Amino acid sequence: MGPGGREPDVVTALAADAYVYGSPLVRTLSAVRSCLQEGCGSTGPAPFNAFAHADGPATPGTPVAYAPADLVDAVAQLDLSGGPVRLHVPDTGGAYYVLRLTDAWSNSFAYLGPRATGTGEGDWLIVPPGWSGTVPEGVSGVVDAPTSVVSVIGHIACDGPGDMPRVRALQQEFTLTHLGDRAHRTGLPAAESAVPRELRFFEELRVWMADFPASAADRAYQDRFQPLGLLEEGVSPYVAAGPGLVRALGRGLALGRLRVEEAARRVAAVPAGPHGAWRTLEHLRDHNVDHLGVGTLTAPEWKITDREASYLVRAVAVRRGHRLPHGYEAVYATTSRDSAGHPLTGAHAYELRLAPPPPVRAFWSLTVYDSPGGRLVADTRERYAVGSRSPGLVYGADGSLTLRLSAVPPEDTTAAANWVPVPPGAFRPVMRLHLPDRPVLDGSYALPPFVRT
């Protein structure tokens, strides 16, 4: 029998559900801890309430797979346990940037940037749950955080190496100031070190669920995990767990992981439809239904109505799409086949005829990566992203744009101006559409397939 007299199979099923539900919290806070201690992605380590900025956009030497070549990362981890933090954003002169705020459960609950708040200078007060203090003068607005730890995931548009002096100047002006009357934490609450390694996930979930409470509706769902010991306070129930409980929790952990992995594979699968169709994930962030603040949209189309179904989507989003915002901020599209259904490879040349180019309010860009590595293709021009901001592109009289993709530069002058280099082997293109217009979101505008020439 399991804890509370439960049969092992029942405990295993509950543990699998607990993994699907709780893995976003454990993954998110593990990433926060890594950012504090080692750095994350293209940014170095930084303490709580301080920005870490990348040195520039991605290059072929960047070790992060599928990193953007026309955005510079700005990342910060906020701790609000000692009180609010004041976030200052500079005037970007109309240039695109976005700061996406996510809570400890990976819910994107606020956006700052041209779509939501403009590109002018401003100050925002990020406040912890239940805060009722006085807002300082000069604050543009208040952002209510659902949890006391918040991740700020930012991107600043960059038009290549020559644009970096402007970006570096902006980086210095994105600042965070702790205004609380108590010292903030320097690290995350620690799990019990004596817990066996195979139960580490459940111990971290137990500790972090207590320190970073979910919404009321989610806490009601959590009650079903009482038999697993996840709601116990004080001494960890996993330090001296019996062999039956260890086996049941281990099986549940494996089943939960398998459930998330299978769902992630379905998300990554080539969509039904014409050969060469692009796959987009504009609704992978719709799992947040409880805390929608500055810059978020609350229309039903951006919410998953089935709460339990949203937990699986959230787990997939953290596993596969941690860089992805809501679709109304940006749509990322990718494909791996041409119009005839053949895999894309540098052994052939291709055309992508955009007639018209994607309708966006900010900008769009196409970036090619080797596959499966996800690294950029070396280019002596250092033009790793081609799109609406690229100088020198040749458009047709009807406003269309035909991009030429090949491993060898084309000889024709017009084709060479619109050339996108690809590796000699398999490659994967990624189209990023920043601030997409309604035709992109409702599907009335569809990216065309690559045609082998």
Domains of the chain: residue spans and CATH? 3-28+189-268 (1.10.3360), 48-178 (2.60.40.1610), 279-452 (2.60.120.600)
Model confidence band, residue 8 (pLDDT cutoffs 50, 70, 90): low
| pLDDT (average), residues 284-293 | 94
Antiparallel, parallel or unpaired: β 385-387 and 360-370: antiparallel
Given a contact cutoff of 8 angstroms between Cβ atoms, the answer to whether 286 and 236 are in contact is no
**Chain position carrying tokens 């801890």:** 33
- pLDDT value at 269 more than 80: no
What does residue 446 show for φ and ψ, rounded to 5 degrees? Answer: -125, 135
Query: What pLDDT, on a 0 to 100 scale, did the predictor assign at position 272?
Result: 54
∠ Cα 111 265 387 (to 5°) = 50
Q: Which is higher by pLDDT, 268 or 171?
A: 171
Query: 317-335: per-residue pLDDT in tens?
Result: 999 877 899 999 999 999 9
Q: Which residues pair with 343 in a beta bridge?
A: 337
| Cα(46)–Cα(39) distance, integer angstroms | 7
- pLDDT value at 260 more than 80: yes
Antiparallel, parallel or unpaired: β 108-112 and 122-127: unpaired
| pLDDT (average), residues 140-144 | 96
**Chain position carrying tokens 């017009």:** 414
Average pLDDT of the chain is: 93
Q: How many CB atoms lie within 10 A of CB 266?
A: 9
**Alpha carbon of residue 147 to chain centroid:** 18
pTM of the model: 0.94
Query: Which among 104-108, 160-164, 276-280 has the top mean pLDDT?
Result: 104-108
Residues 6+ positions from 370 with CB-CB distance below 8 Å:
377, 423, 425, 426, 427, 428
Query: 398-433: per-residue pLDDT in tens?
Result: 999 999 999 999 988 888 999 999 999 999 999 999
Across 271-306, b (16+ Cβ under 10 Å) vs e yields eeeeebbbebbbbbbbbbbbbbbbbbbeeeebbbee
Check the CA dihedral 233-238-239-243 and report its sign.
Answer: positive
- pLDDT value at 2 more than 50: no
Given a contact cutoff of 8 angstroms between Cβ atoms, the answer to whether 419 and 406 are in contact is yes
Query: What pLDDT, on a 0 to 100 scale, did the predictor assign at position 201?
Result: 97
CA nearest neighbour of 405 among 426, 391, 390, 432: 426
Model confidence band, residue 181 (pLDDT cutoffs 50, 70, 90): confident
| pLDDT (average), residues 163-173 | 97
| Region of residue 4 (left: phi > 0; alpha: psi -120 to 50; beta: else) | left
| Region of residue 185 (left: phi > 0; alpha: psi -120 to 50; beta: else) | beta
Residue 372 burial class via C-beta count within 10 angstroms: exposed 0-12, middle 13-18, buried 19 and up = exposed
- pLDDT value at 313 more than 90: yes
Q: Which of 188-197, 262-271, 362-371 has the lowest mean pLDDT?
A: 262-271
Query: 47-81: per-residue pLDDT in tens?
Result: 999 999 999 999 998 989 999 999 999 999 999 99
Query: What pLDDT, on a 0 to 100 scale, did the predictor assign at position 1?
Result: 45
